[in-house]
Structure 1
């Protein structure tokens, strides 16, 4: 069976609106956390795309009906399609799928319209429903690129992007489609959403420092990461020379606590991914960790890694130390980061990790990127609700 390969990458992230800038920021360990624009009085910080970023030239025929959440997905998808060398119409439209991971839908539009309704006593905008609906990001990507195959959103909180890529790979592998535009997106930096996250008491005021002794929480981010998937034979027939394949997705549920993570559940996802890929733990050279920077999540993930890999897990890093946590979009951004690490033979660092937590005795690639061959890697995403997803990527 032909491998399912990654033929194109695209991002729209606070640390880079191009893949080159995104990768440069990750390698340099250069975060871009600033006071949250929507909640300036709180002291909360966020990872926000600069105000000056211009998305006005996107192929969106009705921009007034498009929430920022979908806009970021279209921007990243356009870059990924260009990177893959795929023009709209170059593949039969009904053979192109769109599978986007998204945790919240049009959160910015919901906030705006509730303010209009309850504060300003004005009628909601007539496009409020299509802006806010959970499937809007997938719909707008399909419209922008004429994709007429299966089109849907995977909504599993912070595991959404990773699960979307895994599901899209299954569609390609099964021969249902020839190409899939897939990944994750989120635009959660509205006032109401940030207030809700702040109420959970898990947001940092100082920066995201996964695996650090003084870590104090996560930094909520906006962003989208999109990959183009196709069968290796299809890609090579049109002259593309892919380097990385999506080997498998391992996914499952804790069926336990709605917020507290479970090491057993995380470990089951990683083991399932390894089994599906027909790989042993020793075959994995690098793990892109979920690594949110909260006390509980980092500890639980390390316990899970030790359960799967033994006393000496492979080198691990959390790119959330640079990107922040883009929730449903995180898995897409981290898949892009993992593919880049593999193709550059360079593992990005856990930025700012100058004082590793001695209770988390793993090699978390502190401070500086590490040159190393990465023939196979895992990208982890673990979500509220006990939803776990691990994606195995391997070099061809």
Structure 2
């Protein structure tokens, strides 16, 4: 039986951050990362932007070169899955047939794209992995037109990138304006303007009822002929391994404390697959952002090395739609009111901030061309303060 001090399951930002943090915090044992991905760890944010546009290569999106792992004595086993995790015996069975025993395991399996649940949904491309992005980029090189289904940030980024390549791109979503339900109508109007300025045609208030090769049918009967179809309709957590291992879950996410401990003493979890207690928020928070996965991975790695560290930051991320970058800091679990403030003449030449409140307290801030307000938003959210007058 093979043996390792730290077994990390996954190769996303949470996994790699955990490995690095373990070493930085004095962890000297063997570290083994096991991932189903055939590639070494890579940055996901560029996949829907620079890489899709054809402006960067595989080397550009690599998280680290091979030497980085070698120098830190980190072993990465690609193209391999953990099929069974025994938290009592502290063993993991691999798809290769091997069994690995471990002192500590960190589950950082992330999430996968949620296929669109309509007839013919299998004909739509998805975007999550480097393999997905390469398939999409290759298809875009031969396409004159594209339909992107879903106006989340990945959908908006990908639609703008396809349009930048000269592909006639239509974005279809149920909200009248992009993310109107999530971010409020004022923010949605600005995001719609960003898409318009990027050359994307937005079709709001529409659902997709059927997909055929080369055709998307909407719920009003309209058929859109297209060369390329991308479904960006959300994600599902890769928590099946944790569930079969008997770990506590909440709505498909592994429940962890602020130190990333799961319900099993020997197992930690971090990133998109986790619902982590945040002492600043005073409750469990689910995140789906790169930086939060990095932060939680740092905590998990430190915990595995025996160093006490807590995840107490306000979740936040950046998104770039065409030439426009939005920054968002928020707890992400709802608001009562959303108030937009124009800055420097307003969009597109100036900036804006949307302040989100619940019970009179700031719970989020969305900013454009306004880094001071982004920094302020993090402080107001963390301090449970009211937004500026």
The normalised TM-score by structure 1 is 0.27
- Of Structure 1 and Structure 2, the greater strand share is in 2
Q: Which protein is richer in helix relative to its size?
A: 1
**Structure exhibiting the larger radius of gyration computed from Cα positions:** 2
Give the TM-score taking structure 2 as reference length: 0.27
**Which one scores higher on RCO, CA 8 angstroms, separation ≥ 6?**
1
